[in-house]
Structures are given as structure tokens and as C-alpha cells.
Amino acid sequence: MEIIKKINECKLIVNQLREKGYKIGLVPTMGFLHEGHINLIRMAKRDCDKVFISIFVNPAQFGPDEDFKNYPRDIKKDSALAEKEGVDYIFYPTVQEMYGSDHKTIVEVKELGKIMCGKYRPIHFAGVTTVVLKLFNIVNAQKAYFGQKDYQQMIIIKKMAADLNMDIEIVSGPTKRESNGLALSSRNKYLSVEERENATILYKCLNLAKNMIKNGEKNLEKVKRIVLGNLEDNRFVKSVDYFEFRDTRTLEEIKRVDKDYKSILAAAAVWIGKTRLIDNIIIKVEKQ
């Protein structure tokens, strides 16, 4: 496995691999790897001849009061994990290498980037799409892998790739969880032992919504009220940014279950103490 820090070197290597006819897979990450990332790497290994991961904590997707500086980093551990999984290359640039001192361009998927998490993190998705497009231009892969844990991000990236006629297939992988249901996230490191145990409230509430819907409840405003009540009653939940039902493809808000929907996304962002956690599930709707 090779760690590449320079954009030009990375492009050269990718060109050589593509000339040889290799199929290249890219797994973009911010590092501090866990089973969610590893599962995407394994998917890429199954589909592709050469697997790149990128490790880059992207300042452009953090707001001024967010955790860019404190975001957990451990390149040594990450390299060891990646090597064990058979990753061929880690693209590991510095912020200076990626943005220089005169970076002016922003790529933005309108509307989709302003709802849900975008309402609370106004520059976040523009930062994500900008860096992901840069990564796609640097690692000219045929396939790129994203987790459903960040469902809105995955939809936005698919939309960018489609709108900009990009020659890359966006593949999504399932959300990986701890045995108690808590979705794996590098940010779980911020949680105290007690907070970590109680952070399962998020997944429990998503499942509460699922069960209500499976039991025939059609009024999603009512489901939302009950779930929000449960979240707000929990003393570990400092605040709730949102809990919403959305179309799994367009992310349009859904207020009522009707025959148009085969599946519905339930998604939430909550603060457990000083840590913002997001999670979602897809609820399959029975035939009406």
C-alpha cells in the first residue's frame, strides 16, 4: 500500500493504472476509520481492481463554530487498518495541497443542500460537493462509495454526478452500527461512556416511528410529534435539529403515508451533550 500526498503524483498513478485497463474504486473519508468505512472498502475491493481511499478532513465543510480542529485524526491506525483490508493507495493531502491559497470555486447542489442538515449547517454540503468533485478529478475512479449513514450527502453526490454528466458510478453502502444500534461515527469518540450508552435513543426513536407506520399509522405529523416528545424527554438529548420523513430519492418532505410511497426515509439530527449525531432508516411501506 502506498500513501500519496501530492495531487500530481496521484493523477500520474491513476493514469498509469487506467492505461493498464484497471477498474478503480474510491472511498472518500475523513479518516479515523471504523467498520462503516471498512465495509465500503470491502465493497470496493469486491467490485474493483485497485482501491483508493482518501483521508482528508475538509475544512470547507465545517462551519466556523464546528469541530474542524478537534475532529479525530489517527493516520497511523488508519494506514494499518487500510493495509489490512487490502487498500492499494491512500490519498492523504494537506489542506494547502487541496486548496492552495487562492481557491475560489464552489460546487453546490441547490435546494437539496439547504434542507435537513443543510438548514443547520448552511455551508456544509457545498463544502462536501466541492471536495468530492475535486477528489473525483484527482482519483479518476469508475466507482465511488458512500455510506447511507449520511443519506442526504449520498443523494446530493448522486445528483451532482448526474447533473454534471460525470463518468463515475456512485455506490451506496449500508449503515453500520454498534450492537446496541448506535450508528458508527468518528464523532462517537466525543461521547462520554454514559452519553454513548444513551445515544441509542436516536436509533430507538427511528424504530419507534417505523413501528408506528408498520402498524398502520398514516399521519406522519402525529408520528413526528410522538417521536419528538420522546427525544425531548430524554435528559441526554440537549436539542433536536430535526426529525423528518422524506422521499428516499428526491428528499421531498412526506407528511402522510399514501400509495405513492414504497419506502420512506426517516432521518434525524440530535445533540447529545456537545456532540451532534445524525442517523436515518428506510421504512418499507406495506401495500395499501
CB of 235 to ligand AMP, least distance (A): 25
Nearer to ligand AMP, 61 or 198 (CB): 61
Count of residues in contact with ligand AMP, rule CB under 6 A:
16
Q: Is 149 among the residues that bind ligand AMP (CB under 6 A)?
A: yes
Verify whether residue 103 is a known catalytic residue: no
Question: Does the footprint of ligand AMP cover residue 277 (CB under 6 A)?
Answer: no
30 binds ligand AMP (CB under 6 A): yes
Cα distance between residue 33 and residue 35, in whole Å: 7
In the bound state with ligand AMP, the residue whose beta carbon lies nearer, of 151 and 285, is 151
Minimal CA–CA distance to 242: which of 170, 108, 152, 111? 152
- Binding segment for ligand AMP among 70-78, 169-177, 223-231, 270-278 (CB under 6 A)? 169-177
Does 29 bind ligand AMP (CB under 6 A)? Our answer is: yes
Smallest distance from the beta carbon of 178 to ligand AMP, in angstroms?
Answer: 9
Report if residue 50 touches ligand AMP, rule: CB under 6 A.
no
* 147 is an interface residue for ligand AMP by CB under 6 A: yes
250 to 30, 129, 182: CA distances (angstroms): 26, 17, 26
Which listed residue (4, 24, 25, 37) binds ligand AMP by CB under 6 A?
37
Burial of 288 (0-12, 13-18, 19+ CB in 10 A): exposed
What are the φ/ψ torsions at residue 94 (nearest 5 degrees)?
-85, 170
Cβ proximity of 13 and 51 under 8 Å: no
173 binds ligand AMP (CB under 6 A): yes
Report how far residue 37's alpha carbon sits from residue 175's, in angstroms, rounded to the nearest whole number.
10
User: Using the rule CB under 6 A, is 91 a contact of ligand AMP?
Assistant: no
**β-strands 2-4, 24-29: how paired?**
unpaired
Which among 116-124, 172-180, 201-209, 254-262 is the span making contact with ligand AMP, rule CB under 6 A?
A: 172-180
Count other C-beta atoms under 10 Å from residue 146's C-beta: 22
C-alpha cell, 56: 482528508
Task: Pick the stretch among 75-83, 99-107, 110-118, 142-150 that binds ligand AMP (CB under 6 A).
Answer: 142-150
CA–CA gap between residue 279 and residue 120 (Å, rounded): 15
Binders of ligand AMP among 176-205, rule CB under 6 A?
Answer: 176, 183-186
DSSP 186: G
Query: Is the distance from CB of 270 to CB of 231 less than 8 angstroms?
Result: yes
CA angle, residues 49, 22, 107, in degrees to nearest 5: 95
Nearer to ligand AMP, 170 or 212 (CB): 170
The answer to the question of residue 127 lying near ligand AMP (CB under 6 A) is no
Site for ligand AMP in 64-83 (CB under 6 A): none
User: What positions carry a catalytic annotation?
Assistant: 37
Provide the binding-site residues for ligand AMP, judged by CB under 6 A.
29-30, 36-37, 40, 146-147, 149-150, 173, 175-176, 183-186
